[in-house]
Structure 1
Amino acid sequence: MLYATTTPAQKRFDLRARLASDELLRFPGAFNPLSAKLIERHGFDGVYVSGAVLSADLGLPDIGLTTLSEVAGRTRQIARVTELPALVDADTGFGEPMNVARTVAELEDAGVAALHIEDQVNPKRCGHLDGKQVVEVTTAVQRIRAAVDARRDANLVIVARTDIRAVGGLDTAIDRTRRLVDAGADVIFAEALESLDEFAAVRAAVDVPMLANMTEFGKSELFTVAQLRDVGVNIVIWPVSLLRMAMGAAERALSTLTDEGTLTSLLGQMQHRRDLYDLVDYAGYNRFDASVFNFGVAD
């Protein structure tokens, strides 16, 4: 009904407990609140709010054009409809250390359980594109320290993302992850690693949990959950996958509508009205007003 019953504080507490258990947690990317509810229904461990998805949803490229207000607003909409913890992409923190601190406060108020801050320069770009630039290690460390200091709930998980693998190589990435852990990062996210051996090497270098990004059409091979678990990964995200699937289906539907003048041939591929109504819990709202759910849905 309406919003989740699990409080943000409880979600953060539970996420920390699960991270401490060394299990692998699966966080598909939610492109809107409804998809977050579907992720929960399918038994996943959390929802991821991708900066690339939020940019694309606004019709913009992922080059740092979104604002903190836009990210916080969309994240709040997603986090409040699901019992699952939400992990949000906070890009570079929307500025330097003071901006990072405000970003953490805003996203904590939005109900997130975790967020990640990266070490790219402003404006940033997608982590799987060539030509990335990263800040000096001092600035990267300052961003993470600011994020850690700014949280009011000690259970808010601060994930430190580094994009330096594509710029300086694996050894440089390992050195930076260590520095970010020393700065207080709860989880390490080394972006665009290129092999399981690289994931294993980074994981072995730090004593905090590690996140892996399994985005399609990127620098990293699409490893399975089992493969990543075997090398010690603790969180896996699929940031843009559901949006890509949905947009692919939308393109096919529009082509069919153009060619056939009807979508009758695609009815079997659509979410049925009854399933949509079930997902948004029409029946639950009947407890408040019997007039909102006084009908049946045909098969």
Structure 2
Amino acid sequence: MSVETTRVHTQDFSTATSSALHQLLHSPELTFLMEAHDALSAAIAEESGFPGLWASGLSIASSLGYRDANEASWTQVVEVVERMADVTHIPILVDGDSGFGNFNNARLAALKLYQRGASGICLEDKGFPKLNSFVGDKHPLADVKEFSGRLRAVKDTVPEHRFCLIARTEALIAGYDEQEALSRAHAYAEAGADAILIHSRKGTADEVLSFARAWKNRLPLIIVPTKYYRTPVAAYRQASISTVIWANHAMRASVRAMGQVCRRILSEESVAGIEPDVATLEEVFKLMRYDELANAEGRYLPETSASA
């Protein structure tokens, strides 16, 4: 990767991207974060114009061949996020699951993510190991005081102005009512969260929009409309929601596209037919800045003699 885009993850860099994420969360305009699960998908999302990235736990786990059940370790997630930060210039909000354990695991993961270029972490109020919110019906929640301790540990470890901390409540996912979700969100705000993510597995946005009205913008509110994707974004703007995360769509698109291409190549015993449907090598080279490498060779390599 180019010298210009490769990051030495200093505090100054992480502080700058954290500030950018903070501005996005507090912007009067609705913000959209795009899922990424590796360096390539991160570069594509930035080139497409998204102002920030969501390092999805589901998508990263899937790309590593794991299930979204804390099968991938936090150190593996950190390594993936580091590569994403190396090739982009926009803030990365990392899906930190439930913190990979207790308060100590959560603060260690947050510190390493900050050191490797992440702009913030989102922690959900489940125990360890957690299970993807859309799988099965068993989603026990963490004790409020214990989870608040995880949040405070992260805040005390990574200074507030350098890293954003998002608290995600799974109360609605676990079958509790709005009041329980609100109670937890208020407790997490007291513990130092910079924003609240309210999650739902319903096919409509009704319970999320109801929560938004009751929340009254105490902190920026983030949503993930994976299941209620038919809701017009105008409804989110009207509800003063801060940020929408498109949480797994690049990964899902790649699964479908790669499957189709593999089956066609096997069936047709040729790649001639699929060439119009895949990126050219030139597109890949442009995205990965091969031009910068050529320019660098001209600056740093000695000229080859004519007799060589």
TM-score exceeds 0.5: yes
| Structure 2 residue corresponding to 1:279, chosen from 280, 287, 293 | 287
Hey, what's the Cα distance between the residues in 2 that align with 1:107 and 1:136? 25
Deviation, structure 1 residue 200: 2.6
Report the 3-state secondary structure (helix = DSSP H, G, I; strand = E; otherwise coil) of the residue aligned with 1:7.
helix
Hey, what's the Cα distance between the residues in 2 that align with 1:146 and 1:249? 41
Partner of 1:230: 238
- Residue correspondence of structure 1 range 45-194 to structure 2 within 5 A: 45-129=51-135, 130-152=137-159, 154-167=161-174, 168-192=176-200, 194=202
Hey, what's the Cα distance between the residues in 1 that align with 2:116 and 2:60? 15
Structure 2: tracts of 5 or more residues without a match: 301-308
Structure 1: tracts of 5 or more residues without a match: 293-299
Query: Is residue 196–residue 231 contact of structure 1 (8 Å, CA) maintained in 2?
Result: no
Hey, what's the Cα distance between the residues in 1 that align with 2:246 and 2:60? 14
**Which residue type is aligned with residue 287 of structure 1?**
N
Hey, what's the Cα distance between the residues in 2 that align with 1:266 and 1:229? 41
Hey, what's the Cα distance between the residues in 2 that align with 1:254 and 1:88? 31
Hey, what's the Cα distance between the residues in 2 that align with 1:270 and 1:116? 34
| Structure 2 residue corresponding to 1:39, chosen from 37, 40, 45 | 45
**Which residue type is aligned with residue 37 of structure 1?**
A
Hey, what's the Cα distance between the residues in 1 that align with 2:232 and 2:285? 33
| Structure 2 residue corresponding to 1:210, chosen from 221, 246, 249 | 221
**Which residue type is aligned with residue 258 of structure 2?**
A
Per-residue CA deviation, residues 27-86 of structure 1 (Å, 9 max, x unaligned), is 111121111111111111111111111111121111111111101111111112101100
CA RMSD of aligned residues (A): 2.0
Hey, what's the Cα distance between the residues in 2 that align with 1:224 and 1:40? 24
Deviation, structure 1 residue 230: 2.4
Deviation, structure 1 residue 193: 5.5
Hey, what's the Cα distance between the residues in 1 that align with 2:150 and 2:240? 26
Identity %: 24
Q: How many pairs align?
A: 289
Per-residue CA deviation, residues 198-247 of structure 1 (Å, 9 max, x unaligned), is 223323314111111132xx4x4443433322222212112211111111
TM-score by length of 1: 0.90
Query: Is residue 196–residue 228 contact of structure 1 (8 Å, CA) maintained in 2?
Result: no
Hey, what's the Cα distance between the residues in 1 that align with 2:160 and 2:170? 27
Which deviates the most, 84-93 or 227-236?
A: 227-236
Hey, what's the Cα distance between the residues in 1 that align with 2:85 and 2:230? 27
Hey, what's the Cα distance between the residues in 2 that align with 1:249 and 1:10? 35
**Which residue type is aligned with residue 11 of structure 1?**
T
Query: Is residue 37–residue 80 contact of structure 2 (8 Å, CA) maintained in 1?
Result: no
What stretches of structure 1 move > 4 A for 4+ residues in a row?
none
When residues 10 and 35 of structure 1 are mapped into structure 2, their CA distance, relative to the original with a 3 A threshold, is same
Report the 3-state secondary structure (helix = DSSP H, G, I; strand = E; otherwise coil) of the residue aligned with 2:173.
helix
Deviation, structure 1 residue 4: 5.4
TM-score by length of 2: 0.88
